[in-house]
A = this chain, B = another copy of it.
Amino acid sequence: MNKKKHRIILVEDSADLGYLLSEYLSMKNFEISWFVNGISALKNLEVNKYDLAILDITMPDMDGFSLAEQMKDRFPDLPFLFLSARSLKVDVLKGFYLGAVDYLKKPIDEEELVIRIENLLNRLNSEKRVEEDIFHFKLGQYTFNSLNQELVFNDEIFHLTTKESELLHYLVLRQNVLCSHKDILIKLWGNNDYFNKKSLNVFITRLRKYLEKDVNISIDNVHSQGFILHLE
């Protein structure tokens, strides 16, 4: 029983990023069509069906916002997300105002993009709504802003260090899934040796300390394997 591939339309004018993303996403078992401008994308949407659109915001001729508007008119059921180098509040707001399901800041982390896409498609299928946008994660009674590196519990605000934030972000994206030492260390430290593993332990302890106020959150160790961020 092989699952049907999800079909994604990517509109990105940069050849580098467009090529990179389409390669990576097809490797990750998505069926991906890449267009370099809004006109050709719209034309293609007339004849093909997609599950998700990924739109770059800054493009010549037609920018991602205008494209999204036209898409909304003609293909109201197609969810879309934006890619953008700009993090202006007005841009982000405008994005969500237009009905975007997500807004990712460049540079794009391909692995994170895949996780988000998968979450999104799951969520859209199951109608489950989670409070989540670019930087904001709902973490039990906490909210975690990965961009500002802030973890908030009620009116208490914890300013996380970069490593703390990166680690929490990594775990949150993969909540309730075992994350091996090895993968964490390679992704966040660049290599997987004895001393970095010791360092990781220290950071796990710190995160546990931050998160202890909500008993429904725990970071559990799987002996000689790695860690799981458990929710509920």
Q: Report which A residues bind B (CB closer than 8 A).
A: 87-90, 93-94, 96-97, 132, 134, 147-149, 159, 161-162, 173-178, 220, 222-225, 228
| A216 shortest CB reach to chain B, Å | 14
Contact (A161, B223) CB under 8 Å given A178-B147, A178-B148? yes
A178 to B88, CA, bound (A): 10
Q: Is the CB of A87 within 8 A of B177?
A: yes
A45 to B223, CA, bound (A): 45
Closest to A228 in B: B148
Closest to A146 in B: B178
User: What are the residues of chain B within 8 A of A96 when measuring CB–CB?
Assistant: 90
A178 to B134, CA, bound (A): 13
Contact (A89, B175) CB under 8 Å given A159-B222, A162-B225, A223-B161? yes
User: What are the residues of chain B within 8 A of A97 when measuring CB–CB?
Assistant: 89-90, 93-94, 97
| A63 shortest CB reach to chain B, Å | 13
A225 to B160, CA, bound (A): 12
A162 to B178, CA, bound (A): 12
A159 to B221, CA, bound (A): 10
Q: Is the CB of A149 within 8 A of B222?
A: yes
Q: Is the CB of B174 within 8 A of A222?
A: no
Q: Is the CB of B148 within 8 A of A176?
A: yes
User: What are the residues of chain B within 8 A of A87 when measuring CB–CB?
Assistant: 174, 177
| A95 shortest CB reach to chain B, Å | 10
The 3 residue pairs across chains A and B that have the minimum distance between CB atoms:
A148-B178, A93-B97, A147-B178
A88 to B149, CA, bound (A): 21
A82 to B97, CA, bound (A): 18
Q: Is the CB of B225 within 8 A of A149?
A: yes
A174 to B96, CA, bound (A): 16
A50 to B94, CA, bound (A): 29
A161 to B147, CA, bound (A): 30
User: What are the residues of chain B within 8 A of A175 when measuring CB–CB?
Assistant: 89
User: What are the residues of chain B within 8 A of A132 when measuring CB–CB?
Assistant: 90
